[in-house]
Amino acid sequence: MEITTWHLEQTSPDDLSAAKPPAVPVTVTRAELVSPELNRYLYTAVGGDWFWIDRLGWSWDQWIEWLDRPGVETWVAYAQGTPCGYFELDGTVEGEVELAYFGLMSSFVGKGLGGHLLTVALREAWTLAERWPGKAPARRVTVHTCTTDGPAALKNYQARGFRLFRTEVEEAELPAETPGPWPGAGKKK
């Protein structure tokens, strides 16, 4: 399968074009304790419909190794107390923050939450150094998305002020269908 990957960036907090608040109350909370169980749950619950498969084989130790680094943060979105999405920030490169993972659970897609969550994610990315003593302030925030992600992803990133800086096209072998959030989820009988 041919996959196009778009790499996007913001170079100033002023690049952010905030989305309007959602109609449903949403809170976004940083998970301050490292929890491989939480991150794996969020990764599969959000990414299961979009071929997020690169971390599926990770062991508990691999999750710990990734998450327990200064500058890595997980933020969970809740709609009326129910987890609805998340984002993961990677501020381990000096002066940069990558929006490493971002998305909504499928039952919350199309409800006007994505733009708001991305607005929160970008505000937190730009202020990440304030939460990590010794980190330099971000000069750049990056994200990438591809043709196997949700169809609104690229448009949402651009609407929030991200600019394209590189496009890559490559061949990749993918499973016949997405893994889903757990075996059998979403399958019609």
Structural domain total, the chain: 1
- pTM, whole model, 2 decimals? 0.91
Task: Please state, as a whole number, how many other Cβ atoms lie within 10 Å of the Cβ of residue 164.
Answer: 12
Q: Which residue has the higher pLDDT, 14 or 4?
A: 14
Q: Is the pLDDT of residue 148 over 70?
A: yes
Tokens of 22: 């959602």
Domain span at residue 142?
2-171
Query: Which has the minimum average pLDDT: 49-58, 126-135, 148-157?
Result: 49-58
Is 180 inside any structural domain? no
Q: What's residue 188's pLDDT?
A: 43
Q: How confident is the model at residue 182 (pLDDT cuts 50, 70, 90)?
A: low
Q: What are the start-end ranges of the H helices in the chain? A: 36-47, 60-67, 114-126, 128-131, 153-159
For 70-105, what is each residue's pLDDT tens digit? 999 999 999 999 999 999 999 999 999 999 999 999
- Does the residue 157 lie in any domain? yes
Does residue 16 belong to any structural domain of this protein?
yes
Give the CA dihedral 31, 74, 61, 174, nearest 10 degrees. 140
188 occurs within a structural domain: no
Does residue 178 sit within a domain?
no
Mean pLDDT of 27-34: 96
Q: Annotate 51-73 with b (16+ C-beta within 10 A) or e (fewer).
A: bbeeeeebeeeebeebbeeebbb
45 in any annotated domain: yes
- CATH number assigned to the domain comprising residue 95: 3.40.630.30
CA atoms within 13 A of residue 86's CA, in its CB half-sphere? 22
Tell me which residue has tokens 């607005």: 119
Mean pLDDT of all residues in 139-147: 95
